[in-house]
Structure formats: C-alpha cells, structure tokens
C-alpha cells in the first residue's frame, strides 16, 4: 500500500451493504428500464458512425443544445447526455440507450419515454437517420462498426474472449427491466424466479433473425451473441436454489476475473490476471481493493439477471410497437405479487437448473419452438402471460393493457422474429431495405 493510502481493507461486509441497502417497503416499489436502439440510415441501411457531420456525436451535440441537456464525456469525447436522473448514453457501437428514473407505474415510464422521443424526433429528422427497435444491426457488422471513444470499451473489446463478443458489443440492442425487493429473502425469491423466466422471455421477445443482410438461422442472434461472449461473467448466476443469498451472489462476482480498475479516472488494465477475491486479499501492483472497484467489477459481470440494490433483468431483444412495456408488465405482474410468484413456482416445479440452462441454449435458434423436458416453450409462455395478466388485473392499475402487443403473438405461438421471417421470405423478397423501413415504421 502506498503512503497515501490509509483506507481500511475492503471486507465482504462492506460489499454486502450495497445489496441490503436496496430493501424497501412494498409501497415504495418502482419499475425501471433501460432501452437501447440502433441508429440506422434509411438511405444506406447501415449503422450510423460516431464521427462525421451527421454522425452520432454531432447528433448528441445538437440535441443537448436544443433541449438543454448536459454532456457526459470521456476525456473530451461526448459519450452521452444527462438531465436530472435521466440519461441518453452510447453503447460501444453507437447504440443509443435511454435510461429513465424508475416510476411507480409503467404508465409513468411510457409518458417519459414518449415525451423524450417527441423531443428526439426533429433532431433525428435533421440528421437523417432512425433509431430502430431491433435486436441486432440488420446490415452493418462489427467489422465495419467502430467503437465509440470510451476507454473502458476499448479495454473490454480487447479482453472479452467469446467468439461473438464483438457482435454483442457493437451490433446488439436490448431492453432491461429493474425491480425492487423488500428483504434479502424476497430478493432471492425474485432473483430465482426471474432467472427461470428469462429463457421464456428471451423466446417471447426474440427479434433479431436477420443480420448482415442475411437470414442467420437464429430467431434471436442477439441472445446467441451473449452465449458466446465470456462464460466467466455471463449466463445464470447461482443454481436457482432457495438457499441462495446476497453473500452467495457476491461470492460468484468475486470469483470472476477483473478486466480493469479505475484510479483517478484512468483505467488500469488487469486483463483477468486475478479475480476480485484475490484483489481483496493481495492487491494488484500498488493498488488495494476499494468499494468503487467492486461496483465497477460488478457492473462488468453480465448474468441474465443481475443483483444490485434492485434486480436487473437483461435478456430481451429490443422490440417495437410498445413491446418494451410488455416486458415490464410481465415481470411486474409476477414479481410484485406473492400469489403470482407461487403460481410460477408451481408451473416450474418439475424443472431443474439444468433444464433451464439447456433451454437457454436452444432458445436463440428456435425461440418458442424450443422444448424444456419435452414440453414446448410456447405452451409455458402462454401460462406465464395468463399469470401476469391475472395479477395485473388484481392490482387495479390498468397496466394489463401493456400485454396486448405480445399476447397477439404469444397466444399464436409466435415471436416478433417469426413475423419478420415470414415477410423476409415472402413480400420483402429478402430485401434489407424493406426490413429497415419496416423496423423504422414500428409496426408489428
């Protein structure tokens, strides 16, 4: 330890407080979301670059000036905007992410997003591109999508070892939901249920079958990319057991290799030479582990469901026609109702961790046609929808209306990718321009 460092050694108890601090009263429960879209030119059908007169950087500048938002920068490069608790940030390949302060109801989130999209619309029109609601870049691939000038993304790109990690970073767009808990026991139960739901939800909202201008053979190429990103930090965390705990989650995070740490705003590459547990015990070079190091490390741990001081669910393709709210409505209906969670437990009672893990690997290709223990996922998805809808009706918030877009598909055993593939091999005659036009039109 250097002479300037007099901080007490980081202990696991310090880390656990990050999770216990999230416990809330039920009346304080909110719903949060992050929502990524792909910037695509309707002229070239290709991804919009960061640089250039009509690139993403100047787009952010123009929006900030028009609406009085503040810059988020990395050194002197603009990598996002903020206003109050809301942010517009860039993912590695210029995907545009809206992160909205959690609200009591999904209506509250929708009102905020509708308002923000209305403000974005004239700037998008001026810059001549669309933000499409789709899971993977329809034509441009990672080989011709540059990384934005954010130091951590360069380090991540050089480190992540999966064969499709570049696809995940530069090409994909998804929806994340955030949900609260009242106690550790409640958090563990919701965490386990969310993990069990996740492959079915990935299948229901599968929306990335066309990539690089061709049919991939997968209904969600985005989900496939996550299967091939980095098994040290992706997938299911824990074994979906009742005796899971905050401490066991932390233990999983501690055992994953460190990509980098930050000191005085400067990334220090670690390149997986040690895991966080070893960092806490022995340090790295002249650095000792700090709580902010764990926060960064935990943010670079990418399970399907991530524990923080809330539960973050991360496994859905971006979809159009208000389906982003259907994702939230299903989880809210289930996770914020004790009786609905009981019904889900009963529905999944015969399945093991290995059954869910096998389903997760089959879903990218087959979506709702996948099977779990010989049972078609489509049938179980209908039951999940029924449980969520019944629960939302009982809550008397009118939020069951947000299920309508996905019900139309799921009850017919379909996902968004099925509609795209039907048109791709029919009316569109495999023309990527027609796909992009359809995605920009937000019609399902």
In-domain check, residue 202: yes
Return the CATH number at 356.
3.30.590.20
Cβ pair 22, 186 in contact under 8 A = no
pLDDT tens readout for residues 177-231: 999 999 999 999 999 999 999 999 999 999 999 999 999 999 999 999 999 999 9
The predicted structure's pLDDT at residue 443: 39
Q: If you average pLDDT over residues 393-407, what whole number do you get? A: 98
The answer to whether residue 1 scores a pLDDT higher than 60 is no
Cβ pair 137, 210 in contact under 8 A = no
pLDDT tens readout for residues 312-369: 999 999 999 899 999 999 999 999 999 999 999 999 999 999 999 999 999 999 999 9
Confidence class of residue 6 from pLDDT cuts 50, 70 and 90? low
In-domain check, residue 19: no
pLDDT tens readout for residues 99-124: 999 999 999 999 999 999 999 999 99
CB atoms within 10 A of CB 207: 31
In-domain check, residue 237: yes
In-domain check, residue 112: yes
In-domain check, residue 312: yes
CB atoms within 10 A of CB 238: 20
Structure tokens, 247: 């401490």
CA trace torsion 333, 335, 340, 342 (10° rounding): 170
The predicted structure's pLDDT at residue 7: 65
In-domain check, residue 173: yes
pLDDT tens readout for residues 269-325: 999 999 999 999 999 999 999 999 999 999 999 999 999 999 999 999 999 989 999
In-domain check, residue 2: no
Find all residues with CB under 8 Å of 389, minimum gap 6, and list them.
Answer: 333, 400, 403, 407
Q: Are strands 86-90 and 96-103 parallel, antiparallel or unpaired?
A: antiparallel
Which residue segment(s) compose the domain that 205 sits in?
A: 28-256+301-441
In-domain check, residue 322: yes
Q: Model's pTM, two decimal places? A: 0.96
Mean of the per-residue pLDDT values of the chain: 96
Overall domain count for the chain: 1
């Amino acid at each position: 330890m250097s002479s300037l460092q007099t901080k007490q050694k980081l202990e696991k108890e310090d880390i656990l407080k990050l999770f216990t601090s999230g416990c809330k009263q039920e009346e304080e429960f909110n719903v949060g979301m992050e929502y990524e879209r792909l910037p695509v030119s309707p002229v070239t059908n290709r991804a919009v670059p960061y640089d250039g007169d009509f690139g993403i950087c100047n787009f952010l500048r123009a929006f900030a000036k028009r609406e009085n938002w503040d810059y988020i920068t990395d050194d002197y490069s603009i990598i996002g905007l903020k206003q109050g608790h809301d942010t517009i940030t860039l993912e590695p390949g210029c995907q545009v992410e809206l992160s909205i302060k959690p609200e009591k109801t999904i209506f509250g989130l929708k009102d905020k997003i509708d308002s923000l999209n209305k403000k974005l619309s004239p700037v998008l029109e001026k810059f001549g591109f669309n933000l499409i609601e789709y899971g993977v870049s329809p034509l441009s691939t990672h080989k011709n999508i540059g990384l934005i000038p954010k130091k951590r993304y360069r380090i991540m790109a050089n480190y992540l070892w999966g064969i499709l990690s570049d696809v995940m970073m530069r090409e994909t767009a998804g929806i994340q939901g955030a949900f609260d808990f009242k106690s550790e026991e409640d958090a563990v139960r919701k965490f386990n249920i969310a993990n069990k739901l996740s492959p079915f939800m990935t299948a229901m909202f599968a929306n990335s079958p066309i990539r690089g201008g061709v049919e991939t053979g997968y209904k969600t190429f985005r989900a496939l990319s996550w299967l091939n990103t980095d098994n040290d930090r992706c997938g299911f965390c824990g074994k979906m057991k009742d005796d899971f705990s905050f401490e066991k989650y932390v233990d999983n995070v501690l055992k994953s290799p460190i990509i980098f740490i930050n000191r005085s705003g400067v990334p220090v590459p670690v390149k997986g030479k040690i895991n966080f547990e070893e960092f806490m015990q022995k340090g790295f070079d002249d650095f000792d582990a700090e709580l902010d190091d764990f926060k960064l490390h935990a943010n670079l741990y990418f399970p399907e469901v991530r524990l923080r001081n809330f539960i973050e669910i991360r496994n859905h393709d971006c979809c159009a026609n208000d389906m982003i709210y259907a994702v939230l409505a299903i989880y809210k209906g289930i996770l914020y109702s004790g009786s609905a969670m009981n019904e889900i437990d009963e529905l999944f009672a015969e399945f093991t961790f290995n059954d869910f893990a096998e389903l997760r690997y089959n879903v990218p290709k087959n979506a709702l046609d996948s099977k779990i223990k010989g049972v078609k996922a489509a049938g179980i998805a209908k039951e999940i929808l029924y449980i969520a809808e019944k629960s939302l009706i009982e809550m008397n918030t009118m939020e069951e209306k947000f299920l309508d877009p996905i019900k139309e598909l799921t009850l017919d055993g379909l996902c968004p990718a099925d509609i795209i593939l039907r048109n791709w091999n029919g009316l569109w005659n495999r023309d990527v321009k027609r796909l992009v036009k359809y995605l920009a039109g937000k019609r399902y």
